[in-house]
């Protein structure tokens, strides 16, 4: 019956459980793949392989290993969701959005510069207020 059997070892980390091996006291994975984080390890293992993850962890200082595991988990998740582009898809999307924002900001700055010029002119020739309207109707942000 389901639930009658103890898991392999309740103190084993998720990596050692997954790899069906004894979890030693200095296990490189144990601090970052808790016993209940089997899915997290499975994803990272499927994309990078346990051996490569272990090599990367050994290479970085201990205080940066948690960040390393989190970034690997994020990348693995993205690659499993989108096998073609992985997290490069997110980078491409952000770059597109940035180009749009830069474009909108350039338009806004241009409009502001024209307003400033019009305002400066208005202080010397108070009657030319129609130039504001002409400028104001000249540009539009793209639908936002």
Contact footprint for a copy of itself (CB under 8 A): 46-49, 51-52, 56, 59-60, 64, 67-68, 71-72, 74-75, 79, 83-91, 94-95, 97-98, 101-102, 104-105, 108-109, 111-112, 115-116, 118-119, 122-123, 126-127, 129-130, 132-133, 136, 141
Q: Shortest approach of a copy of itself to residue 35 CB, angstroms? A: 25
- HSE-up of 22 (CA within 13 Å, CB side)? 2
CB 108 within 8 A of CB 116: no
Which residue lies nearer to a copy of itself by CB, 24 or 99? 99
Determine the Cα–Cα distance for residues 73 and 65; give it in Å rounded to an integer: 12
Q: Shortest approach of a copy of itself to residue 25 CB, angstroms? A: 25
Which residue lies nearer to a copy of itself by CB, 6 or 63? 63
CB 141 within 8 A of CB 104: yes
DSSP string for residues in 67-100: HHHHHHHHHHHHHHH-TTTTTHHHHHHHHHHHHH
- HSE-up of 53 (CA within 13 Å, CB side)? 29
Q: Shortest approach of a copy of itself to residue 107 CB, angstroms? A: 9
Q: Shortest approach of a copy of itself to residue 117 CB, angstroms? A: 11
């Amino acid at each position: 019956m389901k639930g009658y059997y103890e898991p392999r070892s309740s103190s084993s980390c998720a990596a050692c459980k997954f790899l069906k091996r004894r979890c030693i006291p200095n296990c490189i994975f144990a601090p970052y793949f808790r016993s209940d984080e089997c899915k997290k390890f499975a994803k990272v293992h499927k994309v990078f392989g346990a051996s490569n993850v272990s090599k990367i962890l050994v290479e970085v200082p201990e205080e940066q290993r948690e960040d390393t595991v989190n970034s690997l988990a994020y990348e693995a998740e993205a690659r499993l969701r989108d096998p073609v582009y992985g997290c490069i898809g997110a980078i491409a999307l952000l770059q597109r959005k940035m180009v749009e924002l830069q474009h909108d900001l350039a338009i806004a700055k241009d409009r502001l510069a024209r307003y400033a010029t019009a305002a400066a002119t208005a202080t010397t020739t108070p009657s030319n207020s129609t130039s504001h309207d002409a400028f104001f109707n000249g540009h539009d942000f793209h639908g936002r």
